Chains A and B, each alone.
Chain A
Amino acid sequence: MSEQVTIASLETGEIATIEGYLNEQISQSRLVEMGLLPGTPVRMIKKTPLNGPVEIKVRDFYLSLRMRDALNILVKK
């Protein structure tokens, strides 16, 4: 059983796998170049108050994203 959700909805500490992207956005190309491809596992590290940026761990590094970009990345829990 699986549900389609975005990175933004992950709880702190939760691990999921990237499925794809919701819309074409400019930021998408850079995210893919940094290795956020379908099939790549990610873990939510930190969320900030008032829908501020989130921090995730992907491959071997930590990355911070704005909420808008996090809402664009689909993941499978």
Chain B
Amino acid sequence: MTPASPMKKQTGEWVALMGNPNSGKTALFNLLTGLNQKVSNYPGITVERKMGRAVLNDQCQVQVLDLPGTYSLTPESFDERIVSEEILSWLHGPDRPRVIISVVDASNLERNLYLTSQLLDLNIPVIAALNMMDLVKQNGNPVAPEKLCEELGTAEVLHMSARKNWGVEELKEVIVRVINEPVHGKPDLPFALSGPVRSFLADLTEFFKKEFGYNPRFAWAQALRIITRDSVLDGYLHSQVSGVKLDDKQIKDLQELRDTSISNLKSQGIQPQTLEATLRYRWLDSVLKKAGKLKVEILDRLTPSEKADKILTHPFLGPVIFIGLLTFMFQSIFTWATVPMGWITRGVAVFGEWILDVLPTGTLRDLIVEGIIGGVGAILIFLPQIMILVFFMTLLEDSGYMARVAFMLDRLMTKMGLHGRSVFPMMTGYACAIPGIMATRTIESWKERLVTILVLPLMSCSARLPVYALMIGAFIPHKKVLGLFDAQGLTLVIMYLMGTVTALVLAKIFSYFIHQKGQSSFIMEMPPYRLPLTRSVLRQVILRSKLFVINAGKIIMAISIVLWFLASYPKLEKTNENINPIHHSYAGKIGHAIEPFIKPLGFDWKIGIGLITSFAAREVMVSTLATIYNVEAGGKDVVLLTEALQEDKDPKTGELLYSPLVALSLMVFFVYAAQCMATFAIVRNETNSWKWPFFMIFYMTALAYLASLCVYQGGQLLGFS
């Protein structure tokens, strides 16, 4: 027997989770699947497909697919494109979900049920989960679920609240029931098409039925949808994830039929681009009326969010509060992390000493103490700071504040060639460029999305934090500046500001050279302010910390080991007190070879080695220095990197090797340099070309070298050392 092929990995039953952005879909996904989540990629491209296993009862487990939030099956952004293509793959292939759970924000029924009504066309049982019922019950009359279910044609409608964790057990029972006894929607579109519309769409509908085998209801729905926007046609012609391939004749026929339908409709004064939405809303309004939703739109009721926004998005106070929050955040990263960083430092030292005691003297002990503990330990120290950064970023996003920032800054961002929606990806870039680049998928316009991606790695990510923290901790005094700011915290803020301002300026320059495809728009829902859930904030913090530690465990450990060998061999025959053996090691030779190029920036050969190794990941710089100093010390103790840097002397002149100016120059280099290979791999995937990642590596390297040169040479001219 051959082992199971990778194609078979999706055995058994699976269900799909779909809903509008801000409908609480992810919260429900987390409740259903707990920690049993796995992110895989669509074949060929790095677009994650989030699956998790949900235990429904003792006998029944299903896989749950979490799809990106979308308002409609007609795509506008890249995220929505993924959803609409995923659906095409269900209808064109053998693998489809047993049930779709349509997550609905119950305080916002019409707009959310719009998507549900599109899902009902697929001939797959749909469960409508009316989420956030806790808010609706507070504010008035909830609709009758039975009546709504009957009118919509769903398998079930139920009330729940993922926030309050109620209704989830009932949902699980309903999923089991619907899997065992599927209830399909009505066989025809629930709303009538007028005579002319029907006749103009008949040929397209026939085409879908005959060529792709669509059921009649979906064939009509798809005919209605393909005439609204080019993006639907594009999903058939250039599929990215669905794998749908049309032959030349099908392409020609489809385009011709579509053009004919559109011109026929227009000749009758019917607007094809709003036809589907008009028909669906008219039907939904009648459904909701029958289900008992009072048609009183209390538009002028002041919600608490609106009151808060009077201050938080105030034209003057709003930006001031935003800048205040950012400053507070970066100051806290330094002050709050001090104590836990001390624990980790001591922990690493104690562990190193224990290893020194238990293991016999020899190469293995040297490798473990100098290479592994020295290198990985130096990185683990920065875990508390990264946790604090992720904690703040998650709070800002989950509370709904980031949408307000996008709103306030859209005008400014547009002026810089970016988009209001660029703000969140760029701020995510403070944590890590990779999720930031992925978050640009919500920007509809290709030009603004590309410009955002190009400048995003200039936002100082958490991997630079260890480098900044090390240099600041060692060389910037801990004193008050202007009686208000801490010099260390202020230096950190300046580093972040430098990257951010440069990113904005370059965005403006790049946007002159990149041509717009399509029109840019900014239609964004402002979600109500919500208190972030402790469990989802913790989850984010744990997730990112885990990634960081695993990274430290894998890449950094591997590099530390390789580096230890390079720094320790070849061993000198006899130890001469005056010769430092590391100069003659392989690493020393490499470092000395590049020293002439980096000397003008104030860097010596040790930093040179770090610059090479940090191409794998920026934080490796710190572990590299740690390993070098540990090897130098000869494994008698675990060296404290900060002290080693402060006390390191030039062997010839006896002067201190590193100064605040060198530290500054190095930090500036790290602000700009292209160092994280993973980032460029992601850019390759998201832009579908090698051109852009190579461009980024080129411009960032040039920028880093020039900026560092200016800092070091300029600083020396001004008399700093």
Which chain A residues have a beta carbon within 8 Å of chain B's beta carbons? 13, 15, 24-35, 37, 41-43, 45-46, 48-53, 55, 57, 59-66, 69
Residues of the A chain whose Cβ atoms lie less than 8 Å from the Cβ of B229: 26, 29
Is B685's CB within 8 Å of the partner chain A? no
Among B25-33, B106-114, B588-596, B598-606, the stretch in contact with A? B106-114
A74 to chain B, nearest CB (A): 14
Is B273's CB within 8 Å of the partner chain A? yes
Residues of the A chain whose Cβ atoms lie less than 8 Å from the Cβ of B76: 30
Give the distance in Å from the alpha carbon of A18 to the alpha carbon of B305 in the complex.
24
Question: Which of B71, B403, B406, B526 contacts A30, CB < 8 Å?
Answer: B71
B296 to chain A, nearest CB (A): 11
Q: What secondary structure prevails in chain A residues at the interface with B?
A: mixed
Residues of the A chain whose Cβ atoms lie less than 8 Å from the Cβ of B110: 35, 59-60
Q: Which residue of A lies closest to B406 (CB)?
A: A64
A19 to chain B, nearest CB (A): 14
B407 near A64 (CB under 8 angstroms)? Answer: yes
Q: What mask results when residues 93 to 111 of chain B are scored 1 for a CB within 8 Å of chain A, else 0?
A: 0000000000000011111
Find residues 414-440 in chain B having any chain A CB closer than 8 Å to their own CB: 420
Give the distance in Å from the alpha carbon of A34 to the alpha carbon of B105 in the complex.
14
Q: Which residue of A lies closest to B115 (CB)?
A: A33
Is B410's CB within 8 Å of the partner chain A? yes
A62 near B523 (CB under 8 angstroms)? Answer: no
Residues of the B chain whose Cβ atoms lie less than 8 Å from the Cβ of A64: 403, 406-407, 410, 420, 522-526
B407 near A32 (CB under 8 angstroms)? Answer: no
Find residues 490-544 in chain B having any chain A CB closer than 8 Å to their own CB: 518-519, 521-526, 528
Question: Which of B277, B305, B420, B524 contacts A32, CB < 8 Å?
Answer: B277
Residues of the B chain whose Cβ atoms lie less than 8 Å from the Cβ of A51: 411
Is B624's CB within 8 Å of the partner chain A? no
Give the distance in Å from the alpha carbon of A42 to the alpha carbon of B297 in the complex.
10
Is B281's CB within 8 Å of the partner chain A? yes
Is B181's CB within 8 Å of the partner chain A? no
A-B contact count (CB 8 A): 119
B522 near A66 (CB under 8 angstroms)? Answer: yes
B271 near A24 (CB under 8 angstroms)? Answer: yes
Give the distance in Å from the alpha carbon of A30 to the alpha carbon of B711 in the complex.
49
A34 near B111 (CB under 8 angstroms)? Answer: yes
- 27 residue pairs of the A-B complex, CB under 8 angstroms, read A15-B299, A24-B271, A24-B273, A29-B273, A30-B72, A30-B521, A31-B523, A32-B277, A33-B71, A34-B523, A35-B281, A37-B281, A46-B309, A48-B407, A49-B315, A50-B411, A53-B411, A57-B299, A57-B306, A60-B107, A61-B108, A61-B526, A62-B525, A63-B526, A64-B403, A64-B525, A64-B526
Q: What mask results when residues 394 to 409 of chain B are scored 1 for a CB within 8 Å of chain A, else 0?
A: 0000000001001110
A55 near B109 (CB under 8 angstroms)? Answer: no
Residues of the A chain whose Cβ atoms lie less than 8 Å from the Cβ of B525: 34, 61-64
Find residues 584-620 in chain B having any chain A CB closer than 8 Å to their own CB: none
With A32-B274, A45-B306, A55-B407: A60-B522 Cβ-Cβ less than 8 Å: no
B107 near A65 (CB under 8 angstroms)? Answer: no
Interface centre among A43, A49, A62 (most CB of B within 10 A): A62
Give the distance in Å from the alpha carbon of A43 to the alpha carbon of B519 in the complex.
26
B447 to chain A, nearest CB (A): 14
Residues of the B chain whose Cβ atoms lie less than 8 Å from the Cβ of A69: 521-523
With A27-B523, A60-B107, A63-B524: A33-B72 Cβ-Cβ less than 8 Å: yes
Q: Which residue of B lies closest to A49 (CB)?
A: B315
Q: Which residue of B lies closest to A52 (CB)?
A: B411
Is B74's CB within 8 Å of the partner chain A? yes
Give the distance in Å from the alpha carbon of A43 to the alpha carbon of B526 in the complex.
14
Residues of the A chain whose Cβ atoms lie less than 8 Å from the Cβ of B643: none
B530 to chain A, nearest CB (A): 13
A28 near B410 (CB under 8 angstroms)? Answer: no
A26 near B299 (CB under 8 angstroms)? Answer: no
A65 near B273 (CB under 8 angstroms)? Answer: no
Residues of the A chain whose Cβ atoms lie less than 8 Å from the Cβ of B109: 60
A29 near B228 (CB under 8 angstroms)? Answer: yes
B526 near A28 (CB under 8 angstroms)? Answer: no
A28 near B300 (CB under 8 angstroms)? Answer: no
B114 near A42 (CB under 8 angstroms)? Answer: no
Give the distance in Å from the alpha carbon of A41 to the alpha carbon of B295 in the complex.
12
Q: What mask results when residues 298 to 327 of chain B are scored 1 for a CB within 8 Å of chain A, else 0?
A: 011000011001000101000000000000
Is B278's CB within 8 Å of the partner chain A? yes
Find residues 114-141 in chain B having any chain A CB closer than 8 Å to their own CB: 114
Residues of the A chain whose Cβ atoms lie less than 8 Å from the Cβ of B313: 46, 55
A41 near B71 (CB under 8 angstroms)? Answer: no
Residues of the B chain whose Cβ atoms lie less than 8 Å from the Cβ of A65: 522-523
Top 7 nearest A-B pairs (CB, nearest first) are: A52-B411, A62-B526, A32-B277, A27-B521, A43-B299, A32-B274, A60-B108
Question: Which of B74, B114, B519 contacts A35, CB < 8 Å?
Answer: B114
Q: Which residue of A lies closest to B72 (CB)?
A: A33
B300 near A59 (CB under 8 angstroms)? Answer: no
A35 near B522 (CB under 8 angstroms)? Answer: no
Residues of the B chain whose Cβ atoms lie less than 8 Å from the Cβ of A50: 411
A29 near B518 (CB under 8 angstroms)? Answer: no
B292 to chain A, nearest CB (A): 16
Give the distance in Å from the alpha carbon of A26 to the alpha carbon of B278 in the complex.
16
Give the distance in Å from the alpha carbon of A69 to the alpha carbon of B410 in the complex.
14
B273 near A53 (CB under 8 angstroms)? Answer: no
B410 near A52 (CB under 8 angstroms)? Answer: yes
Give the distance in Å from the alpha carbon of A69 to the alpha carbon of B229 in the complex.
18
Give the distance in Å from the alpha carbon of A61 to the alpha carbon of B523 in the complex.
13
Q: Which residue of B lies closest to A62 (CB)?
A: B526
B526 near A55 (CB under 8 angstroms)? Answer: yes
Give the distance in Å from the alpha carbon of A33 to the alpha carbon of B281 in the complex.
8
Give the distance in Å from the alpha carbon of A52 to the alpha carbon of B407 in the complex.
9
Give the distance in Å from the alpha carbon of A65 to the alpha carbon of B407 in the complex.
9
Q: Which residue of A lies closest to B109 (CB)?
A: A60
Q: Which residue of A lies closest to B314 (CB)?
A: A46
Give the distance in Å from the alpha carbon of A27 to the alpha carbon of B309 in the complex.
26
Residues of the B chain whose Cβ atoms lie less than 8 Å from the Cβ of A13: 300
B141 to chain A, nearest CB (A): 13
Q: Which residue of A lies closest to B108 (CB)?
A: A60
Residues of the A chain whose Cβ atoms lie less than 8 Å from the Cβ of B273: 24, 28-29, 32
